[in-house]
Structure 1
Amino acid sequence: MSRFSPFSRPSGPRLPQPVAEVLSRTDAFAPLRAGVEQIAAMERDLSRLLPEYLAASVEPGFIKDGVLVLFAAHNALAARLRHLEPRLLTDLQQRGWAVESLRIRVRPQAMKAPPPVKEARMTPAGAAALQELSQALSPSPLQTALARMAARHLKK
């Protein structure tokens, strides 16, 4: 028996809600909401101003004392971003951002899990056909490889 009334909570799974909607429910989250909106707008502008390969790997930080911190995924992208810094700074200022300088930092992104190792599966009939083919061939690297493959799959 639940200590809560069945009418106190909605039944069924809770649906995800947009962050903006959750942050707009109370004024206590107003500063956080403003920061989230600022970063979202900065991401949109950076995606328009930077080449596609850079935009996907650069994340903006907050603007503090006129300094915008940009986080690059690795050193090579940070170096390329430093070459584009003067033009990028001018473009951001023309779009209305109160930025006097950029600080570029490297923040490595989490390593993606390697793809699972492929494991070939062969039916017993296919393995038997490979074995027959290997026996019909004259001795060669192909004949040896087919014989090994057939033997490996016939074991299973």
Structure 2
Amino acid sequence: MQPPKQPPFHIYGTRVRRTSIDATDFLRRSDRLASLLPAATRMASLQKEVRLILPPMYAGCEVMSLQEGVLTLAVPSSAVAAKLKQQAPKLQAALQKKGWQVDSVRIKIQVGRALPAREEVMKPSSLELPPTAVQAFEELGDALPESPQNAPLIAAIRRLAEKRKAK
């Protein structure tokens, strides 16, 4: 007798929902690999908790492992790692409140891991500003006092407003 068919589910943290469903279905089909499914689900839950706790600027951080109370996070750059070190005690305390046994947080820099795909990268010239923002920049350019120190800033603000108004 076969066990009842479970509906596919999405592993949080994977970029493509269909890929995660295919992965969970693959794990379920094999008796030997099915034992990995609880671990994958646990890591996905932990990733979700970390994303909810950390500010959005850390969206590129990914949970690598949680072993013997040590949470290891992958970050895309040393700058993010430095800022995340400041958030580590808060993250650790919040995870402990939610029932995760996290005694310390370890951060590993993995440059290529969280970089967006080429098609996701927006070019500055493709960004659009709403008309109210363009108007606010025009007003700012007019409101700044004319001085040698402000001249480059005023010129840049006016160029930005003119360029965005033309679109």
User: Aligned AA for 2:25?
Assistant: E
**Aligned mates of 1:30, 1:102 — CA distance in 2:** 29
1:113 is displaced (CA, Å) by 4.5
User: Aligned AA for 1:65?
Assistant: E
Alignment of 1:24-103 (within 5 A): 24-54=28-58, 56-103=59-106
1:66 is displaced (CA, Å) by 1.1
**Aligned mates of 1:40, 1:26 — CA distance in 2:** 20
**Aligned mates of 1:87, 1:63 — CA distance in 2:** 17
* Structure with higher helix content: 2
Gaps of 5+ in 1: 1-14, 116-156
Question: Highest Rg: 1 or 2?
Answer: 1
**Aligned mates of 1:63, 1:18 — CA distance in 2:** 24
Match of 1:145 in 2: none
**Aligned mates of 2:35, 2:64 — CA distance in 1:** 15
TM-score normalised according to structure 1 size:
0.57
**Aligned mates of 1:53, 1:101 — CA distance in 2:** 21
**Aligned mates of 2:56, 2:38 — CA distance in 1:** 27
Gaps of 5+ in 2: 1-17, 122-167
1:63 is displaced (CA, Å) by 1.1
**Aligned mates of 2:88, 2:41 — CA distance in 1:** 23
**How far does the alpha carbon of each residue in 1:90-128 deviate from its partner, in whole angstroms, 9 at most, with x for none?**
00111111111111111112665598xxxxxxxxxxxxx
Identity of aligned residues (%): 28
**Aligned mates of 2:28, 2:118 — CA distance in 1:** 36
TM-score normalised according to structure 2 size:
0.54
**Aligned mates of 2:118, 2:22 — CA distance in 1:** 28
RMSD, aligned CA: 2.5
